[in-house]
Structure 1
Amino acid sequence: MNQDYSSRYILLGTFFTVLAALILGQHVSLLLDPQRGEILEEVRASHLGSVWTIHPPRGLIFDRKGQLLAGNEMVYEVGVDYRAIDDANDAHTIALTSNVYFGLDYYKVKVTVENPPHPQQVYLPLAKGIEKEKVDHLQNFLEITDADSRVERTEKARLAAHLRGLILQPYMKRVYPEPLLASNVLGFVGYNQQALPLGYFGVEARYNEMLAGTPVKLWVPNDPRMVQDFPPIPEGASLILTIDRELQAAVEKILEENIHKTKSETGVIIVLDPKTGEVWAMASYPRLDISRYWDYEALSEKGQFVFNRAISAMYEPGSVFKVLTMASAFDKGVVTEDTTYLDKGAIEVGGLVIYNWDRAGHGKQTMQGCMQLSLNVCLAWVATQLGAADFYTYLQAFGIGHTTGIDLDGERAGILKLPEDQLWSESEIGTNSFGQGVSATPIQMAAAISALANDGKIMRPHIVRGIIKDGEQFMITPSVSSIPISAKTAHTLTEMLARSLEAEASEALVDGYRVAGKTGTGEIAIPGAGYISGETNASFAGWGPVDDPRFVVYIWLEKPKTSIWGSEVAAPIFPKVVEQITLIMNIPPDRYRKATR
């Protein structure tokens, strides 16, 4: 008997000795292997609390004068915590409360609460974007006050018990005070597949990481007595745009009025400062109400909606392109103001016969006459004098065929075929000279033509003027994108185009300001089917004041019905826009400005 007990004691002793050795070995292993130690710490911590990812408030967006264009407001996500549903009346109370206070469908909520999607489902959102006022209304109703009777207190306590499974989670929602204003520039904030906010289009997409800030991970204990105040979380950077809110609103109104007046399908107006590249206004029609950003998908499926036509819509600009052709030839020295051309109404280039817009010949013309009468034949001849190599070198220097680099999401590069391309033919130099067979975006054309208003230099167009981060403001330094022509060429072409407008008594003339400009009427191409008869792209590019240009305006109307000519539908818009520019941006008339020099 004693021997049996001794054997058992020895066996037990051996077991505990081995167990102690294993525990000691595991402890040593954890000390020597930090990774395993971290895993154990994570397991321990998971029982005491959980790690939360806190997203900082998104940065704000202001116009150049400090007016708010995009901000945030506190809203709530309403959801159900299935762990707290333990009474048959809970589903009814939650559904009824959600219907009365939040406008949710009673039966849908009740069925959702009673039937979780999965047996292990812990939480399920019911609705997002519930206004704070509605949540406050409910919380005020449930709050027990000294004025409540005993019956009222009992009833509120009963309701609160049945509503334990109703979770009201606050979060910051992106809001736009004027959801149509500059919507094409701003873009919008939607949600990705992980239900996290994400910028789409415009500056919201281009500067998404900067605006969103850096998420912070925090460990939050399950025991409320251990909860401490969250440390301050830096919010995302805020942006100051080059856009002027008042000018943007005025230009959008002018564009929309003239879209309806001319019965055009779409349109764009861009206003930029040629000396800095700052975009003061960028209107695109039609535009999206970004407070209803979810409508974009349905609109885009129709195949006609482009979020920002100013940077994403490519088209053949037509005769407004002649400015670039003539500037290139002047800069190279193949033509001068004294050069004349005998216009017979037709010219053959690379086997293709090119005609003037009116199919007529206009006799002997100077280069100013060629521009004033917008003669396709003359410009095709000018391009041949320049030669293919130099012609396309200049066009690329003007930015045709590649993006401008504007800080907006979604810019397209246009299409410019070069002599080394397989599909290029010699006739292209003739048609490209007057803006056919080449496609560009409005911002490309505005930037290219701005060289004539800025001593031959193209400043990179940009939308963000400054960035506010961690309490400090950083201003964006304007940068030169390209110098395609000399200052002398820019001044010569500007004067030539100012005289042209004055000689023809153009509807683009502006009282009190001497301006330069060129109209454009381009046929609309259908890939593989030639050009549409009777439908055009009507454009006008203008700048001024001539002696010291402060603004460039680019106007494009697609498929106007009242007239196909840019001189009749696009040019008359220019003085309306300039009137707003000079008033809002404080540019005095020529006589007053020159008198104060």
Structure 2
Amino acid sequence: MRNNIVRIGLVYFIFFLIALVAVGRIIQLQFFDKSVRDNKYHIKVTRVDVTEAMRGSILASDGRYLAFSTPEYDIGMDFSVPSDTLYDNNIEALAEKLASRFKERTKAEYMNLFKTCRTQRRYHKLLQHPVDYTTMMEISQYPILNKGQRYGGFKVDKVDHREYPYGTLAFRTLGHLKSNRDKPRVGVEAALDSVLRGKDGSRPMRLIEHNEWIPDVEDTEIPPQDGLDVQVTLDVNIQDIAEKALLRRIAGESDLEAGCAIVMEVATGEIRAMVNMEKRPDGQFTETYNYAIGRTGEPGSVFKAVTLTTALEDGLITLDTQQRADVLWHYDKANRTFEDTYLRNYSTITVRKGLEISSNNVFRRIAAEYYGNDPQAFVDKINNDRKVTYNYEFDIPGMGKATVRSPQDKLWSYSDLPQIGMGYAVELTPLHIITYYNAIANGGVMVKPHLYKNLQQNGKIVKEFPVETIGRICSPAVADTVKAALRGVVIGKNGTARTAMQNCKVAVAGKTGTARVSLPSGGYMDHAGRKKHQGSFVGFFPYENPKYSVIVVVWSRLANKNFYGGTWGGPVACEIANNIYASSPQWNEQLEEGRTMPALEAYTEQNAANDTLLGVPDVIGMGLRDAIYALESKGYTVKSSGHGSVVRQEPLAGALIDNDKQSVTIVLND
């Protein structure tokens, strides 16, 4: 019995020794055997990081930057990383540095935050907002953070920030982003998002000691493909001229609630300015909707040029054709009487004079008397020959659809034909209207309005957007006749645009228009008898050899009074034409006294110091944003490559450049 107990005890002792050896070996392998410890990290733990592409810039027609991206950096710290000694000896100094430099929190608030994060051993952002490269490098030298990510827990995340050097200029047309990670919804930023955004790359990473991730050189890294730059047709100066003119008009009229303006180059259809303005209830102004391309409505008297062109092209009338000037004209087919008080002083009137005074009955009668037997033919000519309702895909989203009521429509009535003749029963956007008038100015050839000139990569054009011709809307002779009639609207004794344009320094031809706005409840008047109006002026200049076409459209609030396009839109168009004329070198004029070109947003004291230097400013060491501010404020155009801070510029600082060579190239490097 005793021997059995000894044998059992011996067995237990042997098992105990085996277990003890096993535990000892585990401890040795885990904590003391370097080869095995290192081998643990040969069991690869990997991930794939996205390397973001740099978003392309948007350039104005002269190459100035309208939008570009600059790298910024989110600064944070993993509070589980620093050793107790490093943390305890330096955390107060770090709090002091951050509090005194950035003023986001007091030192005490930082200490409370750090205490919580240290207890929870978690990551936390040190600053609420990202900083630029120079500031990031400064922070990297702060206590604890100067030990880097492995020992200090310092963590930097790069974020590309979107900059708009001219602030809200062309805000709705461009579309605005805060960072490259945002999804654009409107404007050029949205329409060409895939082109501007580029293609993100990928970087394989693997985990090593101290929870640190490093690039995995054994796998293939795919570099990002930066987005292309887009050069648009907008002219910074003309856009600024149009915005200021429209803003003054809307701000000065309490009854106006919104407006838009477009300036287009006649020969090419290039949009030089597209302005949208809306008055908020608090009295401030904003661009939340693109009225210029999106808002359809009955255009009113500006449509009379379409009726005139159609009848002239068909050989049915001339400008000297006489009509009876009936204040009350009864249209038998509709059994309706139309009133036109503008005809009170006339017994007969020519078509030319009818356009000048904007007689509704003159153009109602042209439509009804010449096309009454076949209204569909008149509508077809408007749609197909005049192409005024040509619905094309514009360069940015939000284009409204143009329509003319047709005998084939359920809502058609006999009174619609004369109403079309003077601009009702028609739905057009401001862009459709100016496109038509631009064709008249262009000798009868309609070109497609467009916003894009080209796509660029590293300053080289990779794709151009050519001028697109929609087609001919009338013969050159008829176009000249209509041009002459539109000039009469401006200079004729009783022309509706005469007063608005009397101070124009450049010869303008065009047409005023006023239309009641259809209300959501139906009809043109609410229960209190109030109405909304749309007032327009559309034309081109200089009359002798048109360079630009322009349209201004404004909308009123509900009011118990009438408004007129000549009073509203005409003065804005005159101011735009005058200031373009004064600031265009080819017309050899100086800016009017008090006129200023758009200013870049305020830039740093370092830039201001350069203002005292002759020649090219010194931008070495600046970020892209500050370098562009410094150079463009001196009148130079800028070409750039790389990211980070400027390390090289050509020409060098202080160099004097001839006026025809005002371009500076800068190279940046992180």
TM-score tier (shorter): 0.7 to 0.9
TM-score, normalised via structure 2 length: 0.68
Q: Does 1:389 align with 2:376?
A: yes
- Report how far residue 234 of structure 1 moved: 3.4
Higher helix share: 1
Q: Report the 3-state secondary structure (helix = DSSP H, G, I; strand = E; otherwise coil) of the residue aligned with 1:198.
A: coil
Contact 1:102 1:134 in 2 (8 A): no
Residue in 1 that maps onto 2:417:
429
Answer yes or no: is the 8 Å Cα contact 2:171–2:287 preserved in 1. Answer: no
1:531 equivalenced with 2:552 (yes/no): no
Is the alpha carbon distance of 1:589 and 1:524 closer, same or farther for their aligned partners in structure 2, counting shifts above 3 Å?
Answer: farther
2:187 is the counterpart of 1:202: yes
Show the counterpart of 1:376: 360
* CA RMSD of superposed structures (Å): 4.0
Contact 1:277 1:459 in 2 (8 A): yes
Question: CA separation in 1, counterparts of 2:66 and 2:112?
Answer: 40
Letter in 2 for 1:446: I
Q: Which residue of 1 aligns with 2:548?
A: 551
CA positional deviation for 1:500: 3.4
- CA drift at 1:460: 0.6
| 1:367 to partner: Cα distance | 0.9
Out of 279, 295, 306, the position equivalent to 2:271 is 279
Instruction: Render the CA deviation track for 1:355-379: whole Å, top value 9, x for unaligned.
Output: 2265847321111011012111111
Quickly say closer, same or farther: Cα 1:86–1:407, change in 2 above 3 A: farther
For 1:438 and 1:262, locate their aligned partners in 2 and report how far apart those are by CA, in whole Å. 28
Deviation at residue 235 of structure 1 after TM alignment? 1.8
CA distance in 1, matches of 2:276, 2:508: 24
The AA in structure 2 aligned to 1:283 is V
> Aligned to 1:483, which of 465, 472, 476?
472
Gaps of 5+ in 2: 1-40, 590-670
Check the 8 A contact 1:284/1:309 in 2, yes or no.
Answer: yes
- Matches of residues 500-515 of structure 1 in structure 2 within 5 Å? 500-504=489-493, 506-507=498-499, 508-509=501-502, 513-515=506-508
Deviations 1:412-457 (A, max 9, x none): 2245333222223232222222223333221111112111111212
C-alpha distance in structure 2 between counterparts of 1:113 and 1:421, whole Å? 74
CA pair 112-413 structure 1, distance change in 2 beyond 3 A = farther
Matching residue of 1:316: 298
Distance 1:558 1:490 in 2: 30
**Which letter does structure 2 place at the counterpart of 1:556?**
V
Q: Secondary structure at the match of 1:485?
A: coil
Corresponding residue for 2:604? none
Q: Contact 2:343/2:359 (CA < 8 Å) preserved in 1? A: no
Alignment map for 1:94-173 (pairs within 5 Å): 127=128, 129-142=130-143, 156=144, 164-165=152-153, 167-173=155-161
Tell me the residue number matched to 1:330: 312
- 1:77 paired with 2:74, answer yes
Task: Give the 5 Å matches for 1:409-420.
Answer: 409-420=397-408
Determine helix, strand or coil for the equivalent of 1:525. coil
Query: Does 2:570 match 1:571?
Result: yes
Match of 2:206 in 1: 221
**Helix, strand or coil: the match of 2:545?**
coil
- CA distance in 2 between partners of 1:279 and 1:196 (Å): 29
Judge conservation of contact 2:509–2:539 (CA < 8 Å) in 1: yes
Q: Among all aligned residue pairs of Structure 1 and Structure 2, give the percentage whose two residues are the same amino acid.
A: 21
Q: Name 2:227's counterpart in structure 1.
A: 236
Match of 2:599 in 1: none
Cα offset for 1:518? 0.8
Aligned to 1:62: 59
Q: Deviations over 1:514-538 (max 9, x none)?
A: 3311111111221343214454211
1:183: which partner in 2?
A: 171
Q: Aligned-pair distance for 1:113?
A: 9.6
Task: Answer 1 or 2: higher relative contact order, Cα 8 Å, separation at least 6.
Answer: 1
Q: CA separation of 1:316/1:219 partners in 2, compared to 1, >3 Å: closer, same or farther? A: same
Distance in 2 (CA, whole Å) between partners of 1:469 and 1:420 is: 51
Give the aligned length: 518
Aligned partners of 2:465 and 2:115: how far apart in 1?
Answer: 52
Identify the residue that residue 463 of structure 1 maps to in structure 2. 451
CA pair 430-96 structure 1, distance change in 2 beyond 3 A: farther
1:351 deviates by 3.9
Give the secondary-structure state (helix, strand or coil) at the position aligned to 2:455.
strand
- The Cα of 1:226 is off from its aligned counterpart by 5.7
Distance 2:540 2:78 in 1: 62
1:266 and 2:258 equivalent?
Answer: yes
2:324 & 2:547 partners in 1: Cα distance? 37
2:67 aligned counterpart, secondary structure: strand
Structure 1 residue 464 displacement after superposition: 1.1
